[in-house]
Each structure stands twice: as structure tokens, then as C-alpha cells.
Amino acid sequence: MFIVTIVTMIYTLIIRTPRAKQVAEQLQQEFNSLAMFPQATATHSDKSYKDAQALIVSRYSTLASYPELRAYYDTELPKHGWRFVSERTVTNWGRDPGGKTAHYCKGDWSADVEYIGRDTDGMSDYALALSWVVTKDLAVITDGLATTDGLEVRATVSEGRLLRECEELVRFVAHRAAQGALKISDGQEPGYGYWRTQFIADEEGFLEMWELDPKGEELLRGVNLTLRYWIDQHETCRRFHSEFVPPRPDQLVVVSEGVFEGDNVKVVRYSSPEHMSGWWMVTDRYNGKIDSLRTEHLVHLTFVRPDLSKYIALSEGFRFDLTTQEDVWFDEAVLREEA
């Protein structure tokens, strides 16, 4: 019998208000350097800081839609070194009023475009918030799990919203080990969803879970990205009634010109050989000639186009078209075709 324990790992941090004040001033300079969305009217702004956090936020009113806002900030923020990370739906007491939040990062700074949704007169409210927070790692640890190396498993996340999924990940690993389906030892990869994770023994007596960085170039401590992919992809599969069939980041995707450049895409997933993910993605730049297509590893696609990552666990036979709006459907005829 094993026990999964949630622990707040408190590391030595020397944090004083002057540091937060300094960061708040830097965030304000950064905010001022960003060009305001031209179709918006500012309604309120605020700045605050204390201890280990700082926040700059400005609220706006606009007639523009959320896709228009996303398209604008997907262009404006990267000019200043920001990178898109994720998007989530904002619900109100279980209802979906059309609210969305797009999350970006730049070092240890965060930027959120929070779209509230339209009101009865057709206007929309949204906020742009820049923030800095020093977080404490949250860890899920096994107690009594008999691993090959005689060590307990530990997985860490830096966001409270990921803690429940982190616990499910560790339970999954422990149950597979108990069933003899997984060897838990230094260097082994447990296989959980789309992203690659690996056990690494540390000096504290744990088999720590590490994951690939977003570029797929090196391993980082923790499972934040793994769980973000897991959550977003499961939500997409749930929305469109698909089985969860995640590919691997080292599998190949077929793309046309324009996909890596950020154009809107038309996509289909075929049944394919083991080295292929099954995904074919084209844009309006595709000339219809197969020899103009190329293959890329999925890890490169999801780094350059994180907006597409939530769809890639849809099962074979699914199509999606983002050329005008989000259109996702299952096409049974695709299963009879070969890629």
C-alpha cells in the first residue's frame, strides 16, 4: 500500500517589498511600451505590489471580438519578447458567456488578456494584466511505493490549479507500477499524455519527475507543461466527444507552407505508421502538390504554434478548420483513407 502526500515545498526566499516595488516599476515601463489595441477605449487601470508579487492591469471596452483581440496581441506581445503559453475558457457559475483568457510569459513575468464576453449592447470588456509572482513549489510525494531503486516518487508544480492533476499523475504512475506495467527507476519514462517526462534520482532520496522544456531541447524539473497539455487536450476531446489519443512529441506532422508562419489551418488526422502522428496541416498557401509538403516533429509545431496543441489528442478521423472560426468534426470517411 502506498500513500500519495501533497506537500508545500518551502524554499529559502529572501523577499522584501523594495524588490516588488522595483518589479512593479519595470512592469509599468513594459506596459507603456505595448501599443494599445486600436479599437479599444481604456476604462480603468491599477498598479499594486507587495512582498513577492506585482501587478499592472488596465481594463478596456471594445466592439471587437475575442479572435480579433487574440490576433492583435499574438502579434504585438512577441515584438517585445513575450511568448504565448495557453488559453482557457472562463465560465460564470457553470455557464459559458464566451469569456477567454490568453496567457503569455516573458521570463518570470506573466501577461493575461482576459476577455469577459459581450453584454446586451454588443460591447465587450477585456483586461490586459502584467504580473510577477514568486511561487512556492507544490509537490506530490508517494509514501511506501516500492520502486526499483528503493526511492519514493516526487512530482512538483508551480501552480495551485495543477495540483489535483499532479496528484492524478502520481497515482497513475504508482498504480501502473503496482500492476507491473511500469518500471519506476532512474532514467525511465512513465508515458503520460502528449509530453515527455522522465524519472531522475536526486540527492534527497526521491525519484523526481522531470519534463522536456517547450522547445524539446532539455529536461526541466517539474511537470507543469505536461499537465497543461493534459488538461487542455482532455478538455478539447471532451468538447468534441473524441477518445483521448495523444501522439508523441517525436512523431512527425505533415505541414504546408504557412503553418509554422502562423496562418489559419485546415487539419485532418489519418491512421498512420508508428513514426507519424497522423496529422496533416495545410493553409491557403498550399498549392495542392503533395511534394510541396514537408514533415516536422510535433515538438517543434507545438512550440511555434501552441494554439494548435490542444487539438492534437483528437483521435484519427477528426478534422478541424480554423480559417474563419473553430470548426471541429469527425469524418468517418477519413478512417478508410491512408495518409
Q: Where are the domains of the chain?
A: 17-133, 140-226, 243-336
Give residue 12's pLDDT: 29
pLDDT of 333 higher than 90: yes
User: Taking phi first (over 0 means left), then psi (-120 to 50 degrees means alpha), and beta for anything else, what does residue 107 get?
Assistant: left
Q: What is the pLDDT of residues 29-71, one digit of tens each?
A: 999 999 999 999 999 999 988 766 889 999 999 999 999 999 9
pLDDT of 72 higher than 50: yes
Q: What is the pLDDT of residues 268-320, one digit of tens each?
A: 999 999 999 999 999 999 999 999 999 999 999 999 999 999 999 999 999 99
CA angle at 328 for the pair 324 and 333, rounded to the nearest 5°:
120
Helix, strand, coil percent content, the chain, rounded in steps of 5: 25, 35, 40
Q: Among residues of the chain, what percentage have pLDDT more than 70?
A: 88
- Confidence class for position 146, pLDDT limits 50, 70, 90: low
Specify the range with the lowest mean pLDDT, choosing from 6-15, 185-194, 235-244.
6-15
- Confidence class for position 132, pLDDT limits 50, 70, 90: confident
Distances (CA, A) of 311 to 260, 327, 331: 16, 11, 15
- Residue holding cell 519534463? 211
Cell of 111: 501577461
* Side-chain half-sphere exposure of 85, counting CA atoms within 13 A: 20
Give residue 98's pLDDT: 73
Beta bridge partners of 192: none
Class at the top of the CATH hierarchy for domain 17-133: alpha beta
Query: Strand 83-92 to strand 53-62: parallel, antiparallel, or no bridges (unpaired)?
Result: unpaired
- Mean pLDDT, rounded, of the chain: 87
Q: Which of 151, 229, 162, 214 is nearest to 186 (CA)?
A: 151
- CA–CA dist 56, 43 (Å, integer): 14
Distances (CA, A) of 330 to 109, 162, 240, 290, 314: 39, 30, 8, 23, 9
- CA–CA dist 69, 111 (Å, integer): 14
- CA–CA dist 266, 168 (Å, integer): 34
Helix boundaries (H) for 34-98: 66-76
Specify the range with the lowest mean pLDDT, choosing from 8-17, 50-59, 130-139, 154-163.
8-17
What is the average per-residue pLDDT within 126-136? 81
Cell of 79: 515584438
- Confidence class for position 17, pLDDT limits 50, 70, 90: low
The answer, as to whether pTM is greater than 0.85, is: no
CB 194 within 8 A of CB 208: no
